[in-house]
A and B are shown apart, each in its own frame.
Chain A
Amino acid sequence: MKLSLETKAENTWCLGCGDFGILTALKEAVTQLVEEGYKKEEFVLVSGIGCHGKIYDYVDLNGFYSIHGRVLPTALGIRMANPDLKVLGFAGDGDTYAEGISHFIHAARYNLDVTFVVHNNQVFALTTGQATPTTQKGFKGKSTPEGKWDEPLNPILLALSAGATFVARGYAYDVKHLTWLMKEGVKHKGFAFIDVIQPCVTFHNITPYVRERIYKLEDTDHDPSNLEAAMEKAREWNYDMDPNAKIPIGIFYRAKKETIEEGFGRKVPFYRMEKLPKPWEEVIEEKRIV
């Protein structure tokens, strides 16, 4: 029987939105992983708030529709409580690089074993078009009518320097490649970060710019175990509109490192431990003086 991941929720993304590509890749990745032996009920999707967050409604998986910027701490709690669960985090660029950037750095540092997908459309779309930290300098949005004055953040570089052990970039309109990245992310033990270029058809459509410059790291001799080489590749595009930039997608870096779950010796889900606390008389005994 083919796995069904459909829900009855009405899809309200704009026609042509890159989010459809990410949703399709997610469903395809989970379907393939289940065929390979993963259990559907062991996947948990965590989303933030923004256009991307609606993905929670559109796929029939366990899910936590959390609040803006807090996908990663929510995911951390889930993993620590039940390390059997495969957590897929979905967040926006506003979510991750503005509201929740501290969590992003720390999750990478902890090597939290989740797959974290950022729908990076370089704009706040659900609030109708303001600049985010990854928007290019000079962008004229409703809150920056004279043009955004600051340079964009390069999240690939940030993730590499924060200690992420799987750093990748995908493209929302290359579903097959993105499906592969998500599967690799799930199979990776540790923090698997995938920044997805997801042009916003309404407020930040850079599809032509991207299409002319994109190429796959897998088609080159890039060595993903080489951190310096990964940093070099990350610098090829700084999320600006540089006409001379090249935009690599694929896996920049992959490494092995202890995860926070392993660090705390988490193996058995708490709900299954059936641990019985000591009777209350015994618990207070240590404070009895006479």
Chain B
Amino acid sequence: MFSSPSVRRSVLIGGQAGQGVAKAAELLGKMFVRLGYYVFNYRDYPSLIRGGHNFNVITFSDERIFSHDEDPPIVVALDKRTVDTHKAEFYITGSFYTPDRGIQINTNEALKQGIPPVSQNVILLGALAKYLGIPKSIGKEVVGELGPLNVKAFEFGYDRSVDGERAGRIPRKGLYFLTGNEAIALGALAWGIDMYIAYPMTPSTPVLHFLAKRKEVVTLQLENEIAVVNAALGASYAGANVMVGTSGGGFALMNEALSLQGMSEVPLVVYLAQRMGPSTGVPTYTSQGDMLYALHAGHGEFPRVVVAPGDPAEAFRMTMEAFYLAYRYRVLSIILGDKHLGESHYTMLKEEFRPLVRPERFYVFPKDGYKSYEDTPDGVSPMAVPGSIPFTVRATSYEHDEYGITTEEAHEIEKMVEKRLRKAETVEQAVSSLKPLDVYGEGEKVILSWGSTKGAILDALKGLKDWKFVKINYLKPFPRREVMNVLEDAKRIVIVENTSTGQIGKLLAMETGIITEDKILRYDARPFTPEYIRRRLV
């Protein structure tokens, strides 16, 4: 079917939780990347541990792709419900069901050969690999990470399948395959993170699992998100480079301490992985609904940075930037991701990861006195670590003088408020030399968006004429001038966002005075696909 490899193709693998759907999909993705294809792997799962219905859509192409398709023509079903749920042209199933169209592998026979029922996913992956024309040797190498028994399971399926299509080899090197969550964890490691502190919460939990395995970082799971964020501030005050990770509900619990960050000026990096709310909402599905909240969470006025990566390479880079800005300027940095970015696999190129900042420690070790909140021209007070100098180092939630002693004097208060305002301006200047926004394509009509919608929009753009895509990378400080320049001559400005209200439109109006009511919104907790955007754009 895909004799011409540049045609974008998709396969769906579905089954119950616990049957290994996600693993089979990841392995298939790796096989295609090995062959030189670009792959996107979307994961769809409900909030349960056993049963239910999970599926992944693996989309691959010879051209760059960053999104998945609706209704793939080939379905690998690990249970009957998958067959019933997804209409397809071709099914691959096990002994449990004989499809009208497609192939059935006798998985009962595999049992007799000592292949356990839990390996059904790998058996059917083998059958799929053969059908798609993936060389057996490549499949076996990739499956090897699961051990010899699974290699046997893979061969069992492969040998009993039929020839369908021919996946060609594309001579291409330097392809990386990873999720947004993995990229954020790697970005933190590339910065030199000392501590990661979290309480488990989907969809941020994979970062906790990933870093817990690493010796170079101390990973702590504490009793709740309030403990997490206050411990992070304590650790940061005492000289550690720290990140915390959570989702909406946990982020809400952290709010009081975000405000403490603002007053104490103790550096803090927060990874906020959004999911569909309000409240418990739809815990394993995606949303961008916490954007305005992330921009304003915490009482009182204080500077902050909010970065919104749109793919894993950006997530890697921007995590390093979040650390850089937090520690260089003693501010709060929020990395605003979501379930779609965090748990989807993307194919990335090496150069796309290249950081714009270099890892560094910004502590000072003064010899003749120290003021914790020195009133400097740029508003940034040099940071010393307690115990490293023979002077007192203070951090405080109260308004304070330059030494960090509590004050309620009007002129002292004004002085410190203005110091923090100047610091905000300093941070804004620093961000302007990073990449606060990206513009893709050319045209008089503009799609305006941010974050994980990037993939579907970029792929939709290929079939559109006279459209360009303006992606905001820094929601705070907002690149006001750059955005106004790029939108100046726009004939149409359409917002694409995974929300029901179009929050980027409100932010745009607030920051620039530009108002647009043209919106493509999706709020069924599912991510955009290119078809979805094209359909709605007409």
Contact = CB atoms under 8 A, between A and B. Distances in A.
Q: Is B a genuine binding partner of A?
A: yes
A223 interface: no
B186 A283 contact: yes
B37 to A, nearest CB: 10
Interface string A249-290: 000000000000000101001111101111011011001111
B177 interface: yes
Most buried by A among B233, B238, B239, B392: B238
A288 B176 contact: yes
Interface stretch (A49-57, A90-98, A189-197, A204-212): A49-57
B168 to A, nearest CB: 14
Contact of A85 (B190, B260, B387): B387
B223 A54 contact: no
Interface of A: 7-9, 41-42, 44, 46, 49, 54, 56-57, 60-67, 70, 72-82, 84-85, 102-103, 106, 264, 266, 269-273, 275-278, 280-281, 283-284, 287-290
Nearest to A5: B392
A275 B192 contact: yes
Interface string B240-282: 1110000000000000110010001000000000000000000
Most buried by B among A41, A65, A84, A276: A65
Contacts of B231: 73-74, 76-77, 80
Contacts of B296: none
Given A67-B397, A106-B227, A46 B234 contact: yes
B406 A103 contact: no
B385 A77 contact: no
Contacts of A78: 234-235, 237-238, 386
B486 interface: no
B301 interface: no
B310 to A, nearest CB: 17
Contact of B223 (A80, A84, A106, A264): A106
A119 to B, nearest CB: 17
B405 A102 contact: no
Contact of B316 (A9, A41, A284, A289): A284
Contacts of B361: 271
Contacts of B190: 277-278, 280, 283-284
Interface stretch (B16-24, B44-52, B352-360, B504-512): B352-360
A94 to B, nearest CB: 16
Nearest to A276: B192
Nearest to B389: A41
B387 A269 contact: yes
Nearest to A7: B405
Contacts of B234: 46, 64, 66, 73-79, 81
B80 interface: no
Contacts of B236: 77, 81
Contact of A63 (B182, B239, B359, B395): B395
Given A80-B195, A277-B189, A85 B392 contact: no
Contacts of B353: 280, 284
A271 B385 contact: yes
B174 interface: yes
A64 B387 contact: no
B386 A85 contact: yes
B429 interface: no
Interface in B471-488: none
B14 interface: no
Interface of B: 30, 33-34, 36, 172-178, 182, 186, 189-192, 194-195, 197, 216, 218, 220, 222-224, 226-228, 230-242, 256-257, 260, 264, 316, 320, 350, 353-355, 359, 361, 363, 385-398, 404-406
Contacts of B227: 70, 72-73, 76, 102-103, 106
B398 A65 contact: yes
Nearest to B237: A64
A70 B257 contact: yes
B103 to A, nearest CB: 28
Contacts of B33: 289-290
Contacts of B257: 67, 70
A154 to B, nearest CB: 22
Contacts of A283: 186, 189-190
Contact of A287 (B172, B186, B218, B404): B186
B173 A290 contact: yes
Most buried by B among A49, A62, A266, A277: A62
Contact of A290 (B172, B194, B230, B264): B172
A266 B218 CA distance: 9
A212 B187 CA distance: 63
Contacts of A46: 234
Nearest to A40: B390
Contacts of B178: 287
A277 B324 CA distance: 14
Nearest to A61: B392
Given A62-B394, A103-B227, 4 more contacts: A63-B404, A73-B228, A77-B233, A79-B238
B387 A80 contact: no
A9 B406 CA distance: 8
Contacts of A288: 174-176, 350
Contacts of A273: 194
A45 to B, nearest CB: 9
Contacts of B186: 283-284, 287
5 contacts: A62-B393, A64-B233, A64-B394, A82-B387, A271-B361
A82 B239 contact: yes
Which 3 residue pairs spanning A and B have beta carbons closest together?
Answer: A77-B234, A271-B239, A77-B235
B238 A66 contact: no
A89 to B, nearest CB: 11
Nearest to A39: B387
Contact of B390 (A41, A66, A269, A281): A41
Most buried by B among A56, A85, A270: A270
A280 B352 CA distance: 12
A41 B384 CA distance: 12
Contacts of A281: 350
Contacts of B189: 277-278, 283
A47 to B, nearest CB: 9
Nearest to B352: A284
